[in-house]
Amino acid sequence: MIDSEYLELLRCPHCAPQEAGALVEIRKDWLSCSDCKRNYPIVQCIPVMLPQEGDRWRNTQAADLPVIESHNRFVSVVK
Ligand SMILES: [Zn+2]
């Protein structure tokens, strides 16, 4: 669970220059961009806002995203 005030400050790194890029918490371990539908994992309470993560998980349905466990520091190697 990401603090709502903190979440309001976060923006999708892909969209932020042109679009709002607001993020919503679609699961306790995933954020999703309202504009481009890229998804970003939350690892140990820290959103991993790397463009390659967003690209990898773009348009993936919430139910199909992997469960992020506390030891999954490098999400791209998991799945
Ligand atoms: Zn975006």
Query: Averaged in consecutive runs of 10 residues, what is the pLDDT profile of the chain (79 residues)?
Result: 88 92 95 96 90 95 90 61
Q: Residue 25 Cα, ligand 1 centroid: separation in angstroms?
A: 13
Supply the pLDDT for residue 45: 86
How far the first Cα of the chain sits from its last, in Å, is 22
Q: Residue 78 Cα, ligand 1 centroid: separation in angstroms?
A: 22
How far from chain centre, in Å, is Cα 15? Answer: 13
pTM: 0.86
Supply the pLDDT for residue 23: 96
Q: Residue 43 Cα, ligand 1 centroid: separation in angstroms?
A: 19
Give the residue carrying structure tokens 């042109």. Answer: 18
